[in-house]
A and B are shown apart, each in its own frame.
Chain A
Amino acid sequence: MSDATMTGPAQSVETIQSSYLAQVQRRRLYSGLALLVFVVLMASGFHIADDRNAGGFWDGLHQIGDYPADVLSEAWEKRTELPGLIGKYYPALIETINIAAVATLIGAVGGLFLSLLGTRGLAKWPRLIPLFRRISDVMRAVPEIVIALVLIFVLGGGPVPAMIAIAIHTAGALAKMFSEVAENADLKSVEGLASTGATWSQRMLLGVLPQVAPNYLSYTLLRFEINIRASAILGFVGAGGLGYELRNAMAWGPGRFDEAAAIFILLFGTIVFFDQVSSRYRNRLTEGQGQ
């Protein structure tokens, strides 16, 4: 180590200063150019998009508040009916949450297997890692709504196709997140278990899962929140639940905006509720009970 006693050819401070300044100026030039290119691309891209837009961004901009204003004013006029309407749509909400919950559960189990089979160092068949990875890529690449539309066409409308569609997407998305956690897991205990002659599933169950469980649960809870939203949206394509009622209320136009408002309130309240609950549990899982 030459750092304790400064030896070696000593450059003068001036040389170091000027060469560092040159480096800084070069870096500033590059980042300035990058910023310029970014701004130009954003501006021109916006123009192209605006030209291709049927309505036009600037013409439509002032109308952006019209629909919410209509809904709010009508809901305010009929505000006495709101509690009754909320009660009326409550069963639909339960359906939506059920779809999300079952889909999350099935998707998480699927994601668990896909992730363990697709993680280097853990996989049972290392050669098949690319296969399992591509499977999870495909599952998360296809949007829920596309899978749901195909399944509704085959199975008919209702909550089951929606559940399957969300579960497939969840499995793909969670497999990606899970395997990133599993990659960072400490393999020493897995090796220790392997030395006792444990099978692959025993090694995973006892060596990997206890390490990654808090993170896995935390991601699953996050996914559950996302799935509630997804399940509400799938109602729009005929999968039942709150979204179905919302589409009806919106499609009927003025006169039923109070119903739309009631459904928005339910949806908003539910998402806030589950967001709060799951973030509390996620914090407890990641920071431990002591916090």
Chain B
Amino acid sequence: MLKIDALTKRFGDKTAVDAANITVDQPTMIGIIGRSGAGKSTLLRMVNRLSDATEGSITFEGEEITSLRGAARRDWQSRCAMIFQQFNLVPRMDVVSNVLHGTLNKRSTLATLFNLYPQADIHKAIEILDRLGIAEQAPKRAEALSGGQQQRVAIARALMQDPKIILADEPIASLDPMNAQVVMQSLRDIHEQDGRMVIANLHTLDTARRYCDRVIGMRDGRIVFDGTPEQLTTGVARDIYGAGSDFSEAATSTEIETLDRSAAEKAYA
């Protein structure tokens, strides 16, 4: 399905992503882990074509992505939704309008200017919001919502695009543990129920382990691990994070249970 081949991105003399190879045969939920600055975001941004690759290619269902220009590139972007750490909504517009932005690729600028969305799309947007459990927030401004709710609006915008792939760039890094769980569970449900491919950058190991079918580890722009969560041993994790022997999984955790667990372990010790 998706084939990333020797994908490289350089900023000046600094290599952010170094000859990354990833092949995905069927819709999978993939977690990319690594320290900040490891090149995770750059990789996702190249897949969405928000930024251009220096070298290498991305092919999706036989179609070359890296060379798309203009309308063809925007068409690809509409099929490959993206979710951001800081949600990237339009804060002063209402929630439904933000979700309807998922259809912009099909609308003319003039129709957008006068806010003329078809009634069917408005209905669909509210149904998606209902699926994510935030339909009641529909008429509110996006800025009035909590972080977790805003991220779900962003997911709704992504779903409105009806994409084949959803890319999530640190979707839970700005959220508290409870909201992080809700957002990750929504992404997991979307993957399981709709059969969409989800690629999420995560900086915590246990989230990747818990929600993903496949984990890719990056360090300094290179892919250093690619396998199932079971294959991800503490030794491999130390390698990905470049940490010493004092590294433990709980150190990167945002889960409440792990905090309880590590507190309990300390109590036993």
Q: Do A4 and B96 touch (CB < 8 A)?
A: no
Complex CA gap A27/B114 in Å reads 10
A17-B123 contact given A3-B146, A4-B178, A4-B179, CB 8 Å threshold: yes
8 Å CB contact of B149 from A3, A24, A27 = A3
Complex CA gap A1/B149 in Å reads 10
Q: Do A16 and B114 touch (CB < 8 A)?
A: no
**Which residues of the other chain, B, contact A8 by a CB distance below 8 angstroms?**
136
Chain B residues close to A by CB (< 8 Å) = 96, 114-116, 119, 122-123, 126-127, 130, 133-136, 138-139, 145-146, 148-149, 178-179, 181-182
Complex CA gap A6/B127 in Å reads 16
Q: Do A20 and B136 touch (CB < 8 A)?
A: no
Grouping DSSP codes into helix (H, G, I), strand (E, B) and loop, the A interface class, with mixed when no group exceeds half, is: helix
The size of the chain A interface, using a CB distance under 8 A, is 18
7 closest cross-chain pairs (CB), A and B: A4-B178, A6-B133, A13-B130, A17-B126, A3-B149, A16-B135, A20-B138
Complex CA gap A252/B259 in Å reads 89
8 Å CB contact of B179 from A3, A11, A17, A21 = A3
8 Å CB contact of B115 from A1, A3, A31 = A31
Complex CA gap A23/B95 in Å reads 13
Q: Do A13 and B127 touch (CB < 8 A)?
A: yes
**Which residues of the other chain, B, contact A31 by a CB distance below 8 angstroms?**
114-115
Given A17-B127, A20-B138, 14 additional A-B pairs, CB 8 A:
A3-B146, A3-B179, A4-B181, A13-B126, A13-B127, A16-B130, A17-B122, A17-B123, A17-B126, A20-B139, A24-B115, A24-B122, A28-B115, A31-B115
Complex CA gap A17/B135 in Å reads 9
Q: How far is the CB of B97 from chain A (nearest CB, A)?
A: 9
Q: Do A4 and B148 touch (CB < 8 A)?
A: yes
A3-B148 contact given A17-B123, A21-B119, CB 8 Å threshold: yes
**Which residues of the other chain, A, contact B182 by a CB distance below 8 angstroms?**
3-4
The reply to whether the CB of A201 lies closer than 8 angstroms to some CB of chain B is: no
| Selected A-B contacts with CB under 8 Å, 10 pairs | A1-B146, A1-B148, A3-B134, A3-B179, A4-B181, A10-B136, A16-B138, A20-B139, A27-B115, A31-B115
Complex CA gap A10/B115 in Å reads 28
Chain A residues close to B by CB (< 8 Å) = 1, 3-4, 6, 8, 10-11, 13, 16-17, 19-21, 23-24, 27-28, 31
Complex CA gap A21/B125 in Å reads 12
Complex CA gap A186/B123 in Å reads 46
**Which residues of the other chain, A, contact B136 by a CB distance below 8 angstroms?**
8, 10-11, 16
**Which residues of the other chain, A, contact B178 by a CB distance below 8 angstroms?**
1, 4
**Which residues of the other chain, A, contact B148 by a CB distance below 8 angstroms?**
1, 3-4
Q: How far is the CB of B117 from chain A (nearest CB, A)?
A: 8
Complex CA gap A57/B58 in Å reads 59
Q: Do B135 and A21 touch (CB < 8 A)?
A: no
**Which residues of the other chain, B, contact A10 by a CB distance below 8 angstroms?**
136
8 Å CB contact of A13 from B96, B135, B145 = B135
8 Å CB contact of A20 from B122, B145, B146 = B122
- Which B residue's beta carbon lies closest to that of A11? B136
**Which residues of the other chain, B, contact A20 by a CB distance below 8 angstroms?**
96, 122, 126, 138-139
Q: How far is the CB of B93 from chain A (nearest CB, A)?
A: 12
